[in-house]
Every structure is written in C-alpha cells, then in structure tokens.
Amino acid sequence: MALAQSSDELTIRKIYDKSLAEGQSYQMLDYLCHKIGARLSGSPGAAAAVEWSRHVMEDSGFDSVWLQPVMVPHWVRGQKEIGRIINSKKMGTVELSVCALGGSVGTGLEGVAANVVEVKNFDELKSLGTQKVKGKIVFFNRPMDPTQIQTFSAYGGAVNQRGSGASEAAKYGAVGVIVRSMGVNQEDYPHTGGLRYETGVPMIPAMAVSTKHADLLSRLVKDDAGLSFYMEMHCQTLDEAPSFNVVGQIRGSEFPDEIIAVGGHLDSWDLGQGAHDDGAGCVQSIEVLRIFKVMGYKPKRTIRAVMFMNEENGLRGGRKYAELARQNKEKHLAAIESDRGGFTPRGFNFTPDSAHREKIISTIQGWKRLLEPYGLTEFSTPGGGADIGPLARDRVTVIGFIPDSQRYFNYHHTPVDTFDKVDKRELELGAASMAALVYLIDQHGLK
Amino acid sequence: MALAQSSDELTIRKIYDKSLAEGQSYQMLDYLCHKIGARLSGSPGAAAAVEWSRHVMEDSGFDSVWLQPVMVPHWVRGQKEIGRIINSKKMGTVELSVCALGGSVGTGLEGVAANVVEVKNFDELKSLGTQKVKGKIVFFNRPMDPTQIQTFSAYGGAVNQRGSGASEAAKYGAVGVIVRSMGVNQEDYPHTGGLRYETGVPMIPAMAVSTKHADLLSRLVKDDAGLSFYMEMHCQTLDEAPSFNVVGQIRGSEFPDEIIAVGGHLDSWDLGQGAHDDGAGCVQSIEVLRIFKVMGYKPKRTIRAVMFMNEENGLRGGRKYAELARQNKEKHLAAIESDRGGFTPRGFNFTPDSAHREKIISTIQGWKRLLEPYGLTEFSTPGGGADIGPLARDRVTVIGFIPDSQRYFNYHHTPVDTFDKVDKRELELGAASMAALVYLIDQHGLK
C-alpha cells in the first residue's frame, strides 16, 4: 500500500511537471482563439473548430479519433444591434451598449419603440400586471449578488431574468425585454447568453445591456416615466445545421470496455473568442490524453477526450453523446467536464453513481491527500457539468472541474472572452489537475 | 460556546458583505495607481503616497494617524537603459529589452562593451574562474522553475542571481552583469528588483533582461563566442532621503495596550504603478480598519494599519517600526502583512511567538472551520513578511496573507504591474480575509 501510494504520488508529480514545463494547452488555445475564434453552433467557426480538434487529436497520436454527427440550432446575430434611449429628460438621446440574447427573435427593420418599465424579479412583474406592462419594454435589472463568494451562485441567482424574462414579460403584453448583463462589475460591454421561449407565449425580442448602462438606464427611468427606448435587432434562427461532437480515445490495456471521459464544449458564443468559455476546457481535455501519451503512461481503462458541440444554445452534443453511449452499450466509469474557465484549480464537485454513492464519495475523498499539494482542496457533492448531465441519468458518475471563480463572469459570453485573459500557468495547472484525477480513477476505479 | 461561534460566523459574514458590496479597496487602489503611480523610496511619488495614505486614514475616521520618520536610500534610474548585442553572427546588432537592477551603479556615458559568458549558477561561475570571466559580462540565465506549484518557491530558487550575481561575478573580474528576469513566462519586458553589493568587492553594473530576450541572447551566445554586448545605464544612488511610515489606529476598548498590526509597503519599484506590489496590500490594510468602522465594530484590542516605507530596497520602514515599538515598549499581539498581490485568498502562513508556539498554532488552526467557507484553506508555518520580520525578532507572532500565486510574477517589479491587472473581487476578498483574521485575534487573542 505504501508502495502504491508512492507510485501515485510520483505519477501525479510527473503529470504536473509535463503540463507546466512541456505543456501544449496554452499553444492549442492560442490557435483556437486566434486562428478560429468565435464558434457558435452552425457557424463556419464551429465547423473549423471541429476539423481543428480532430486534427490535433490525430496528430497527438491518440488510438482513434472520430466525429459524432448531430443536428444543431443555427441562430445568427446579423448586423450590430441598436439599443437607444430616445428622449430622456436629463440626457436626451443615449446609445447603450447592448446585444441580442442568443435565440431571440429580431425586431424587423422597423425596430421596437416603447416606454420602459423596470423590475427586479418575476414577482414584481406579476404585481405590475398586464395593465402596467402591456405595450411596454420590460427592463430586468436585478444584479448578481456581489456578496456570494462563489460567482456561480450569484449567476444562478440572477440568470432566470435572461433565460425566461422574455416569455414572462410577454405573458403581460410586453413588446420587448432588456436584461441587465450577467456580470458582477461595472462593465462597458454586454453579456449575451441563451434565452428560452415558452411554448404558446408570443416571442418578443430580448437584449442584454452592459451593467454600467443598466445602472444609467435605471437612473433615467426613475426620473422619467415618459422615457422611450428604441431597440433594433436583426438576429434570426435559421434551419438546423449539421455538426459534430469530436471524440479522441486511448484504448485501455486491461479494461478497455470501461470508459473515463473528459471534456469541454467546442462551441462558443459569437462575440469573443470563447477563450475561457470553453476553449480552455477543450484544450485541457485534449491535454489530459496528450500528457499520458508523452509520459508513456498506458491507461488500464479507455480514456476519451470529448469536444461537445452546442452546449451554449441547445445541448445537442451532450445529449447525442449520451444517446450513442446508451445505444452502443458503453460503460462509462466517470465523465469529467471543464466548463468554468482556465483559472487556478480549486477542486472538483461530483455526483456519484447513486448505486454506489457512499463508496464513491469515500474513494474520491481518499484522494484528497494526493491532490491537496497542488491546491485542490474542494471535493464536494453534488456536481458535474451541462454536457455530461445526460450521462448522469444513466448512472455515470459525473465530475465538474472547479477552478477559482472570481474572474469568470468578467468574461463569460462577452466580446472580452479572449486569449489574453487566460493565464498560461493557471490553464496548465487545470489540465494537470484533470489528468491527475483521470489517472487515479484509471488506476483504482471508483468503487 | 455555540453562541460565541455563531457570533463569529455572523461577524465574519458581515465583514465579507461589507468588503464585497460596499468596499473601498478598489477605489483606493485606483487613486494610488493612477493619481500617484510609481513610488520608489525617496521619489516624489513616495512622498505623495505618504500624504495620500495619511489623508485617507484621517478621512476614514480612525482614532489617530501619524507618521514615523525614517531615512531611506535614494536610488534613481536616470534615462532609459541600453542593452545591445553589437555584432551577433546571425542577427547583427539587436536591442534587448533591459532595465537596470535597483541599487546598481551606472556605466557612465561611455557604457560598457565586452564579450558575454553565460552561466546558470554560482558554481558554474566559480568553475569558469577568473581566467574565463575577467573582462567579460556575466549573463546569469537560470530560469524560475515552472514546475513549482507555488511561484514564490520558484522565485526563491532563482533570485540569488539578481540579489548577489553582480558581486559574485565581480570577484572573478567581470565588468558587468545581465540577469534573466524573475518571470516565469515568455515576456517582452524586464523585471527590476534590488541587488546587494558585497563589501570590499568592486561594484559593477547589473541589468535585467526580459525572459524572451534572455532566451535569444542565450541562443546567440552559444553560436558565437566573439559576441559583444553593450550596456549603458545612468542610474545612481543619491544621498539618503527623509521619508515616513504611515500608521493609522483604532484604539482598543478593553485591552488598548495590546496591538494587532496589519500592513503592506507603500513604496514600489519605479517602472509600473506598484498595483499588486504592494498597492494592494496597502489598501487592503486600510480597508480592514475602515470596514470595522463602517460596521460599527469596536475592537477590544488596538488595531493598526501600517504603511511601511522602503520594503523594496532597504527595509528601513520595517526596521524603524520595530525599533519604535521596542523603544515605546509596545506589546504587539500579532502583525499581518499582505505583500503577495491582490489575488484570490488561499490562506495565511505564520510564525508564532516561540514561547507559545503550540498554543498559537492550535488557536489559528481552530479558526480554519470559520474561514474555509471563504476559500481560506491554507494555514501553515513558518511565514510572515519582509516588513514585519523585524517584529518577529521581538517575539511577535507574524502572519503572511497568502493569495493565489500563479499570476504574481507576471507583474512583479515590471512596467505592467498596473491597476488593470487587479481584479476587484479578488482584491476585496483579500481585504475581507485579513479583516476576518484580525477580528478573530481581537476577539479571542492568540494564546
């Protein structure tokens, strides 16, 4: 046992050495961000990213690399949106920093002009009712709570405005929606992100406004019930488009039928380069297998890197992967996802296969001692990730990689989610952390 | 006991709420960086920073604010340095990105031109000996070890080249020194930092070269023993200058004679804005007391914010503070320093008063449960900080605030240590973490 532990310690140390001294994750991300850039589902960028990741994994000498065809939604933004305060008492006409929310209908060339009514939540909207909302533009302006230590908790407490605000407002006759961006600081740029229209409710256009301009709009609306706002958006949803998940694999030497998957999503929003969201997760996942190759580590189980398509506005890739796994009677021991940016690692959260819950928790907690020297101190349940969620329904243990969350929502879904926002060491430490966990699962199983 | 714990939990939660929702640390740092900027000891910037911090603490309503006079070294860089490869076979003349090391002598107007001999460490230098070093420029090119998880360990393993390289090389007759910058990535800019000349050894000029150009120089020197290098630096050491530590205090209500000090250093190198090093530590320290004031928290013990002068090239402020404490028979319970940048908090390291070592360790470890929810998981010995080191000799428990270290050496001592490199939330979390620890020491003592 002492020997086994020592061998784990040595291998994990070697994984970190390889990632930090000879890693390729940063160089891969450089290419993905600068040569390909934005890659919303159905776009030429997404197609290029599919080809790129296939080539990278083939060139890295993985045992096999293949594509999983999947149809994806195809939404396009069209020309730059307009969000304009027309007639404020204090400042007259003011152009705001806005963008259409992903999936929104457009306004047509004629745009939408209406008075603005500000609310903080759906209860407030309801209490205003049809009488005060009908014919108006509803402005959802509840900030992310800055006192949450984990920014994802603050995001979770605010994002229903973006996801469901348009349909909720439309129920009371609103003609358009402005949503405060899901950012925690004072920013000049808006955050896009997906909305979902509720069936049977009129689809009205919805845009995000930068947090700075949300505050401005709020001040101007308070003084001025007659304030009019003009929104013009040329976005539209086209026919679904063919696309792919990209999968690379190293075949297990002892238990080839047991699969450990590690992945990120290849698609990104259209405004930036998808550097943290989720180029980082993609290159880290490829790097896990690449590190094993260059170390000469031959896994007992089959290790897969999965580039999921369409996490941002449909989750079609994640669903397709789980569907194929079921169809092919594949046995996944675990699936790990990195989709919280390329920041300094803090740990993992996970949802164990319910049939072996206690055993799996104690196995993973038992590895804490091996991983703490690398700054991995958080091992909590539940957890996972959007793309691997559908696997969890088939009792696969799903694991989310948890990096430091403080800066994530500075960049998430914005024009500034670019390569220069990623720190090389932080990204490399993340890749090594994922590889270390995959190594431990490969060596010892989970139960 | 359950009640006491719950009250601690509530107060700590309130500290974080204040810092994250209504904090002033970021705004203070904005002013310090943009209105004052660089503030090397003896410079007008340092004098302005003294006045600024005095005013800020007075305006924050601290019970008393005073200056501690201290004489400081006064080194000036003069006009931009030149570091030039004169005659490389492959590239001819190449200008390198260089800067004088702090404290270095200048070259005079005539500069220094000589062949270059590269070494990785002092042993290599010694084995070359006078025969191969005399009349040459020694190029110290040992990189920071990228595989160290804590970047401060990598720094510790490389910095003797900067600190002692000039004198070591001069012992063998070298005429100048080039030191690879203390940075872990490929960078375009050099890192300055202090050197120490050994008494009785000729003082030769020493400059830092960017990591990118260190690699270039190394490649060119390998191919070309006849390569000549020209260095020109106009730096000089002027007469010592009068300056000050700045101290602000809230008087304790129960044990006013027991002091808890929290501080950073007000001086910075001259190339950037001293944002992470150590503007962050200064504003966080002021913020600790400011948060207590706005919370209406009345400390039992006396709490001090100390802006130490001259950490970078002399430590005169830290020594003066300890000297005055001894002279005035002050009883310091603990001194906490923040001088590792305004990054996400990870914990504290500390060196306990040796007379109560085990008790203090167990007291601080006992607070882990209260601080872990805020991401503070590291509580290790030994530790402390440069400015509070002199207090430790008088058996004061010294405590270093430990934020995430991954990005620190991207900025440390460089032109890019600027306000935009500091994340608002990360900075605020640091201030709150320090305030939480000060609160616990104030409430419960250390032994």
Q: Where are the domains of chain B?
A: 2-73+240-444, 78-234
User: If residue A240 lies in a helix (H) or strand (E), which one and from where to where?
Assistant: strand A236-250
Out of A16, A404, A424, the one facing B404 most closely (by C-beta) is: A404
Give domain B2-73+240-444's CATH architecture. 3-Layer(aba) Sandwich (3.40)
Q: For residue A110, with 0-12 CB atoms within 10 Å meaning exposed, 13-18 middle and 19 or more buried, which class applies?
A: exposed
Active site residue A287: no
Helices (H), B271-423: 280-295, 316-327, 357-366, 368-371, 389-392, 408-411
A151 touches chain B (CB under 8 A): yes
Which residues of A96-235 form beta strands (DSSP E)? 98-100, 112-119, 137-140, 176-180, 206-209, 228-232
Euclidean distance between CA atoms B38 and B271, whole angstroms: 7
Are β-strands B397-403 and B345-351 bridged in parallel, bridged antiparallel, or unpaired? antiparallel
Going by C-alpha positions, the residue among A307, A296, A249 that lies closest to residue A68 is A307
pLDDT tens-place values along chain B, 447 residues long:
455 568 999 999 999 999 999 999 999 999 999 999 999 999 999 999 999 999 999 999 999 999 999 999 999 999 999 999 999 999 999 999 999 999 999 999 999 999 999 999 999 999 999 999 999 999 999 999 999 999 999 999 999 999 999 999 999 999 999 999 999 999 999 999 999 999 999 999 999 999 999 999 999 999 898 999 999 999 999 999 999 999 999 999 999 999 999 999 999 999 999 999 999 999 999 999 999 999 999 999 999 999 999 999 999 999 999 999 999 999 999 999 999 999 999 999 999 999 999 999 999 999 999 999 999 999 999 999 999 999 999 999 999 999 999 999 999 999 999 999 999 999 999 999 999 999 999 999 998
ipTM: 0.95
Euclidean distance between CA atoms A279 and A265, whole angstroms: 7
Annotation: CATH topology of A79-234: Glucose Oxidase; domain 1 (3.50.30)
Place of tokens 């009129």: A202
Residue percentage of chain A with pLDDT more than 70: 99
**Tokens describing residue A413:** 């879904």
pLDDT at A1 over 50: no
Work out the widest C-alpha separation in chain B, in whole angstroms. Answer: 76
The listed CATH number (3.40.50.970, 3.40.50.2000, 3.50.30.30, 3.90.1170.40) that belongs to domain B78-234: 3.50.30.30
Number of Cβ pairs < 8 A linking chain A and chain B:
57
Closest CA–CA distance from residue B23 to any residue of chain A (Å)? 11
pTM score: 0.96
Interface test with A, best of B372, B406, B426 (most A CBs within 10 A): B406
Residues of A in contact with B21 (CB under 8 A): 146-147
In A175-214, the residues whose Cβ lies within 8 Å of chain B are: 184-185
| Contact (CB<8Å) A406/B346 | no
Average pLDDT over residues A357-384: 97
Contact between residue B232 and residue B203 where contact means Cβ atoms under 8 Å apart? no
- Calculate the alpha carbon distances from B199 to A150, B73, B205 in Å: 52, 17, 15
The angle subtended at Cα A59 by Cα A37 and Cα A17, nearest 5°, is: 85
> Three-state DSSP class for A180?
strand
Contact between residue A303 and residue A75 where contact means Cβ atoms under 8 Å apart? no
Query: Tell me: the pLDDT tens digits for A420-433?
Result: 999 999 999 999 99
Query: Tell me: the pLDDT tens digits for A16-68?
Result: 999 999 999 999 999 999 999 999 999 999 999 999 999 999 999 999 999 99
Place of tokens 């714990």: B5
User: If residue B119 lies in a helix (H) or strand (E), which one and from where to where?
Assistant: strand B112-119
> Three-state DSSP class for A330?
coil
> Three-state DSSP class for A206?
strand
> Three-state DSSP class for B58?
helix
Euclidean distance between CA atoms A370 and A34, whole angstroms: 36
Residues of A in contact with B377 (CB under 8 A): 377
Euclidean distance between CA atoms B440 and B432, whole angstroms: 12
- Output the pLDDT for position B447: 87
The listed CATH number (3.40.630.10, 2.60.120.260, 3.30.420.130, 3.40.1010.20) that belongs to domain A2-75+239-444: 3.40.630.10
Euclidean distance between CA atoms B273 and A229, whole angstroms: 42
Out of A146, A149, A185, the one facing B374 most closely (by C-beta) is: A149
Euclidean distance between CA atoms B301 and B443, whole angstroms: 8
Q: Phi and psi for B53 in degrees, rounded to 5? A: -70, -35
Query: Tell me: the pLDDT tens digits for B204-222?
Result: 999 999 999 999 999 999 9
Which entry of B311, B312, B426, B428 is annotated as an active-site residue? B311
Cα torsion at B437, B439, B442, B447 (round to 10°)? -40
Contact between residue B208 and residue B271 where contact means Cβ atoms under 8 Å apart? no
